[in-house]
Structure 1
Amino acid sequence: MKIGLVRHFKVTRGFPKEKLLSARELDRWLDEYDLSDVEIAPVDLGDTQWKRCYVSPLSRARTTAETIYSGELIELEGLREVRPDPILQSDVRLPFLVWPILLRLAWFINHNSQTEGQADVEKRASDVLDEILARDEQEVLIVSHGGIMMFLRKELLRRGFSGPKFGYAENGTLYTFEKKP
């Protein structure tokens, strides 16, 4: 059985022009990022004939999947990106590049501001793979996001698949995992 993971194409929405952002402004930028167009690029899917494609409901993943796969797309909410919640709900303005550090730190320590913690995302990745593997298909493509892909990779390895290492997946790159019968 083969499972191919592909991170969505690169998003065209650039970093904010403002040097300092409040939590509210950061949320607005993240919403814009979620709705952003992508830069279409070629993707090498190898010589595997992918039989089914599962995709995150976010438009950047959906556009990528529509571009690289010609068959039916099955949206799974569990493939949605991991999005930490701002820990500060005040008008404090911080440099844009400080926000991701704070958000990830809050997420990793399971700060009470987070609606979804690390254990929740691990379970979500496991549940998604349970659903996909229950269909007993042999060549499955999954188009998703960098954050959830790290958890999918970890879960695939735990289930006996072999595949490549990656820190943060590159946009529009196929990572193939295989489990021998």
Structure 2
Amino acid sequence: MRVVVIRHGTVDYTIKKRCNSKEYDEDNILYDSAPLKPSFTMTAPEGDFKSIYVSSLQRTYDTCKIAFPGREPVRTCLIDEVPLRAFKDSERRLPFWVWDIAGRFQWLSDTNRQGDSKRKTIERAQKFTDMLINKNEDCAVITHGYFMHVLKVVMKRNGFSIRDSTIKFKNGEHFEAIYEDT
């Protein structure tokens, strides 16, 4: 079985460089609902994909329509991005990356402040991987950058061999996961 995991297209939204906690949370909500940039194009990886899976966020659906015209994807919240919110309530204006990194540390340590935890994200990735193994068909998966890393680790633990992987996936980039049933 060949699974191609693709990062969604470029979102048409500019994040503030510095913000307080409320602005950070608002920016994340607006980013999640923003459309793709009209200039975004991509060519789908070649393959006879029986199914195409997208997350519940619109940008993955829109990416599917660009990459695989005429195909109707299967939506699943199992491959949604790892949500982030401000690591604390504060009026202090910090660089956006500080909010991101501190929020990811809270996610790693399973802090209740974040909407998800590392444990819950891994559980979602495992459920999705189990479903793929049970279906045992070539497919494409359009998801999100941070979640791609979690999914890649879970797939490797479940016997997939990973190809074309990188540390930071750009919009429209992908990796391949090959599973050979033993």
TM value normalised by structure 2: 0.89
Give the 5 Å matches for 1:163-174.
163-164=162-163, 165-174=165-174
Give the 5 Å matches for 1:8-27.
8-16=8-16, 20-27=18-25
Alpha-carbon distance change, 115 to 44 in structure 1, aligned in 2, over 3 angstroms: closer
Match of residue 95 from structure 2: 95
Report the AA paired with residue 148 of structure 2.
M
Match of residue 51 from structure 2: 52
What 5-or-longer segments of structure 1 have no aligned partner? none
| CA offset digits 1:38-74 (Å, max 9, x no partner) | 232122412x111110101111111001211232210
CA contact (8 A) 1:43 1:174 kept: no
CA distance in 2, matches of 1:2, 1:107: 30
CA distance in 2, matches of 1:131, 1:179: 13
List 4+ stretches of structure 1 deviating above 3 A. none
SS class of match (2:162): coil
CA contact (8 A) 2:110 2:118 kept: yes
TM value normalised by structure 1: 0.89
CA distance in 2, matches of 1:97, 1:115: 18
CA distance in 1, matches of 2:111, 2:89: 14
Higher relative contact order (CA 8 A, sep 6+): 1
CA contact (8 A) 2:55 2:80 kept: yes
Q: Indicate the percent of aligned positions where both proteins have the same amino acid.
A: 25
| CA offset digits 1:94-142 (Å, max 9, x no partner) | 2223211211122222233223211111111001122233223x21110
Match of residue 134 from structure 1: 134
SS class of match (2:167): coil
CA contact (8 A) 2:49 2:138 kept: yes
Paired positions, count: 177
CA contact (8 A) 2:8 2:60 kept: yes
Match of residue 78 from structure 2: 78
